[in-house]
Copies of this chain bind each other. A is one copy, B any other.
Amino acid sequence: MHSFTAASCQLPAASCPLVTNRTVSDIGEHALISRITQRLAKPSWVVVGPGDDAAVLRPERGTFDVLTTDAIVEGVHFDRRFVPPDAIGHRALAVNLSDLAAMGARPRAALLSFVLPDQLEVADVDAMVDGLVALADTHRVAIVGGNITRSPRLGSGQGPGPLMIDVTATGSVKPRRVLTRAGARPGDEVYVTGTLGGAALGLKFFRSGADLSGPPGRGPEGSAPLVEKYLRPVPRVRMGMLLGRNRAASACIDLSDGLADGLRQIAAASGVGIAVDEASIPAVSGSETFYSDDYELLFTSRPAWKGRLRAVKSQAGDLPITRIGLVTKGGGVVLRTASGERELPAGYEHFR
């Protein structure tokens, strides 16, 4: 379990030898690590970057450290038949940046832990790293370390082990700007960013099988925007920071586990109920909004904070913010529809 350590290939990125049709077991762990580390920027606050036992960072003055980890696993979170490698790398970081956004934190650094089947092509590793680094660069996140290990074939006659990426992301937030799930009070209003349901619809296009004969990353005609929403979700990093900076949210969560789960988590953590107006949910037409892993933010805001929310909206650019319900005294989450009220059914859970 080598960490990202002093690289054997010390060439600049452009002159590193191109590897075609070779697998990770052909070139070995040290060469793989080298291919990754040479692509990474090292901002001034990274005291020790990849290449030692651990990374050392200079903290931002007057802030708290925010830390989160999330793994994505082949066969559970993605299917390599239709998710191209760069989208896998993108997703592995995006899911973590989305968590930092939900805390109001500015992302600063990430650690990247790969578990790779031995017959995976090196070009695929390169593409995963490309996808991850592109998103990291967008948000000025430094990849400061990581780890590569082999995914085992278990038992006899087994196929390759699953591909996994576990990313840990860290960020900073000023003490009075921390957003948690626990601050909602009865009377607060409930909001979501963006539109919901697109990711699930994008995935459905793939699962329908129409495109599985083509190259990965392409859905049927006309599905491009939804497919893109599924493949390369945009974490709401800036929106999370704006909500924290303007102190406009009493509770906040990201929706990478779906709206149903998000509503329930805020209700449970805050000890309140939530009533959602179904008609007000900004849904992609024809989608199932409650169980779609859209990387949007769900938050609550006090009625008296309308001015703060206007400030957020004016700074947030094109991203819509939609009121979808109200925080109530009673426990549980209820859905108000044209035909009356009903309880929200349970959300997605692994192992179930």
Please report the C-alpha to C-alpha distance between residue A71 and residue B145 in the assembled complex, in whole angstroms: 13
Neighbour of A67 across the interface among B51, B57, B95, B269, CB < 8 A: B57
Interface residue tally on A, bucketed by range: 35 or more
A47 within 8 A of B: yes
Query: Which residues of B are found within 8 Å of A151, using beta-carbon distances?
Result: 73, 76, 162
Instruction: Knowing A74-B154, A148-B350, say if A5 contacts B265 (CB, 8 Å).
Output: yes
A201 within 8 A of B: no
Please report the C-alpha to C-alpha distance between residue A143 and residue B36 in the assembled complex, in whole angstroms: 29
Which of A24-32, A132-140, A274-282, A318-326 lines the interface with chain B? A24-32
Closest 9 CB pairs of A and B: A75-B152, A54-B68, A53-B102, A168-B168, A25-B351, A53-B99, A69-B111, A166-B166, A29-B350
Neighbour of A351 across the interface among B118, B261, B265, B268, CB < 8 A: B118
A182 within 8 A of B: yes
Query: Which residues of B are found within 8 Å of A351, using beta-carbon distances?
Result: 24-25, 27-29, 32, 116, 118, 150
Please report the C-alpha to C-alpha distance between residue A55 and residue B168 in the assembled complex, in whole angstroms: 11
Instruction: Knowing A59-B59, A69-B168, A149-B77, say if A54 contacts B162 (CB, 8 Å).
Output: no
Query: Which residues of B are found within 8 Å of A253, using beta-carbon distances?
Result: 53
Neighbour of A113 across the interface among B48, B166, B180, CB < 8 A: B166
Please report the C-alpha to C-alpha distance between residue A54 and residue B66 in the assembled complex, in whole angstroms: 6
* Contact residues, A178-222 vs B (CB, 8 A): 178, 180-182
Q: Which residue of B lies closest to A116 (CB)?
A: B351
A17 within 8 A of B: no
Copies of the polypeptide in the assembly: 2
Q: Which residue of B lies closest to A240 (CB)?
A: B53
Instruction: Knowing A29-B349, A349-B29, say if A56 contacts B64 (CB, 8 Å).
Output: yes
Please report the C-alpha to C-alpha distance between residue A76 and residue B164 in the assembled complex, in whole angstroms: 14
Interface string of A225-256 (1 = CB under 8 A from B): 00000000000000000000000000011101
Neighbour of A161 across the interface among B67, B147, B161, CB < 8 A: B161
Task: Identify 9 residue pairs between A and B in the complex whose beta-carbon atoms are under 8 Å apart, listed by A's number.
Answer: A1-B76, A2-B261, A5-B265, A25-B351, A53-B102, A67-B111, A68-B111, A74-B154, A76-B150
Please report the C-alpha to C-alpha distance between residue A144 and residue B69 in the assembled complex, in whole angstroms: 10
Query: Which residues of B are found within 8 Å of A63, using beta-carbon distances?
Result: 59
